[in-house]
Structure 1
């Protein structure tokens, strides 16, 4: 039976970040993914935003790992010449209630260690763009955008330069804990292979709970319920009226940050995502219903009343693995080590959605620390 030091299930941005970090100390790291390439699910179907760490509750993993991850990610991008742009974000309010929300957000951000938010008056917002409708706003100058594909490509290249291997088109079948680690069964293009690994990292995103259920000894009580939440994006033709990201104050009856305006590295303006919980299936449905366009226009016109409806066209969609169900309260990342499930050498990552991209390097460091505690 072949032996490796660690198997990472899932070659999304978080799995690749973990591989890059662990491969610095472990000589044989194997990354597997059931797709033909890396990052083909949530990691390549998002807003590509580097978040500041503003919205998350105090002492949550999302708050701490986002703030630490943001700093690490900007440094990584500069060091490895990954395309990025710290263009900043405006969070805008339309009335007194929303202004009160921004005041609370300013305090929450400060508690989380985000000290660079700047209050924006109506006049300052109008100076930014005459197309923007808002009474007041908050500027987050440390929010940015990144070329996520280049970033993932760099993480994989770093891991491979350290001796790690990437096995695409490889399905995780199951794992059995032993006194030396784990005996794994993998399906590689229809052929079953047995493998022994000291460590096992479940970073399977949308399928993380399925992977956990196929690891012997992981009790059902330690596997949370995972929800699939679909988000759609519409692109906007022509020149963008905004040079920064624009986020409305989140509505109280939705899960997420609302339909916001973002830019990609090519300066293409896009709007999204919305939130639509969907049934879990073998393959996510990435189609876009054209009937969503009126809902998008209604949301966008609250802060961009002059939008030309003819220039708004469906672009792409993504599915996020949420621990937070419909109409439920905040749910944090779950990064479970031995204390959570009782199996040494196993790390299960559940509900790694936004800000997972931003937090990826910090998550990798957190996973490494959990493994170090067990050895």
Structure 2
């Protein structure tokens, strides 16, 4: 294991990962398992408090993403090859609960068929359900046809992140909380980084051989602070807030229920947590700043959407729960963008990787993203992922 080395007031370290969400921790874990000394910088006082803590915890199968895209490849690889074995080995709660994607009227049938064809190209197995077959699985459901996705799952994302942190520390790495990357320089023969401790205000200086920007919602802000990174390699950030509403009382459904996707998201779907409690969301609201308030009046749109597939949803059954912000690189009215994982092949800076637009299926893909980043850095693949 390489030890800290001090040079010209900079502490040399093999690798620094900025951002201790599920993706940043998975990348840091992959680097640590490949033999690198890793420091993870997290500006908050705990790991995974932003996007990673504000999602539906669904492990997606890869239905929607364009064949050949990073989202498709990394999602399918993460779902089928990596995440479940890891969770089983480390005792992370994981359940293949399955998902039903529904067409609620005849006009949606062709779109449902198109999703089935797309999924097949991605290597994803889906079963076509006629109305009676779907109702045998979920008697309260309204649909004219549906797709059954047996490989869709749910996972305890916080426990997963804790296990990733444990792996990093077992390999000699560390997670530095309350630590913000306030500036950096990637223009010279070595990269440098200024880091501030938000508790004490103390500033330290690092010289990483590898620098990975996995700062999620702040990824563009971090990239803008790196002297020597050309501006054309930093995409514009767009924010899409998604609110969740919880269901009071017991859920009549035992599987995840998804309507047809809407612009910017997958529609207000029904998700069950590992305890069987139902919640609905997220919707899509384009916003200009990070604001996690859930406005109760948005429930009206939820009732309208949900009653297309669950007509007997009682009045007053939805309670405001929480919201998340998607870090998008496409704006309103634009096609959903792929993950942007930009390494030396794109910007020409050795050892630097920036990740932008890591929204869903980022959780599903996290271990695969870690391996992908190793490949961009020409690092040896880990042997026990």
TM-score clears 0.5 = yes
Q: Determine whether 1:237 maps to 2:243.
A: no
Deviations 1:79-105 (A, max 9, x none): 111101101000000122211111111
Deviations 1:116-146 (A, max 9, x none): 2111111111112221100110000000100
User: Of 73, 77, 82, which aligns to 1:68?
Assistant: 77
Q: Determine whether 1:372 maps to 2:378.
A: yes
Counterpart for residue 109 of structure 1: 119
Q: Determine whether 1:310 maps to 2:283.
A: no
Counterpart for residue 299 of structure 1: 305
Contact 1:181–1:345 (Cα < 8 Å) also in 2:
no
Cα distance in 1 for residues equivalent to 2:70 and 2:117: 18
Q: Tell which deviates more after alignment, 26-35 or 314-323.
A: 26-35
Counterpart for residue 39 of structure 1: 48
Cα distance in 2 for residues equivalent to 1:195 and 1:26: 19
Shift of 1:299: 0.6
Cα separation, partners in 2 of 1:373 and 1:31, compared to 1, 3 Å:
closer
Contact 1:174–1:186 (Cα < 8 Å) also in 2:
yes
Q: Determine whether 1:147 maps to 2:153.
A: no
Counterpart for residue 186 of structure 1: 195
Shift of 1:17: 0.2
Counterpart for residue 235 of structure 2: 224
Contact 2:344–2:352 (Cα < 8 Å) also in 1:
yes
Counterpart for residue 208 of structure 1: 219
Cα distance in 1 for residues equivalent to 2:69 and 2:37: 33
User: Of 160, 169, 189, which aligns to 2:169?
Assistant: 160
Superposition map of 1:295-374 within 5 A: 295-372=301-378
Deviations 1:287-324 (A, max 9, x none): 11111111110010000110112221011101110112
Counterpart for residue 103 of structure 2: 93
> Could you tell me the TM-score, scaled by structure 2's length?
0.93
Deviations 1:238-292 (A, max 9, x none): 11111000001124xx221111000011111000000011113xxx211111111
Cα distance in 1 for residues equivalent to 2:215 and 2:277: 30
Structure 1: state its 5+ residue gaps. none
- The aligned length equals 368
User: Of 254, 258, 271, which aligns to 1:247?
Assistant: 258
Cα distance in 1 for residues equivalent to 2:362 and 2:157: 12
Deviations 1:47-67 (A, max 9, x none): 000000110001100000000
Shift of 1:178: 6.3
Cα distance in 2 for residues equivalent to 1:372 and 1:126: 50
* Divergent runs of 4+, >2 A: 177-181
Cα distance in 2 for residues equivalent to 1:320 and 1:95: 29
User: Of 125, 143, 147, which aligns to 1:138?
Assistant: 147
> Could you tell me the TM-score, scaled by structure 1's length?
0.96
Q: Determine whether 1:198 maps to 2:228.
A: no
Over aligned residue pairs, what C-alpha RMSD do you find? 1.3
Counterpart for residue 262 of structure 1: 271
- Residue 302 of structure 1: SS of its match in structure 2? helix
Cα distance in 2 for residues equivalent to 1:39 and 1:217: 29
Cα distance in 1 for residues equivalent to 2:280 and 2:308: 13
Q: Determine whether 1:80 maps to 2:90.
A: yes
Cα distance in 2 for residues equivalent to 1:67 and 1:174: 36
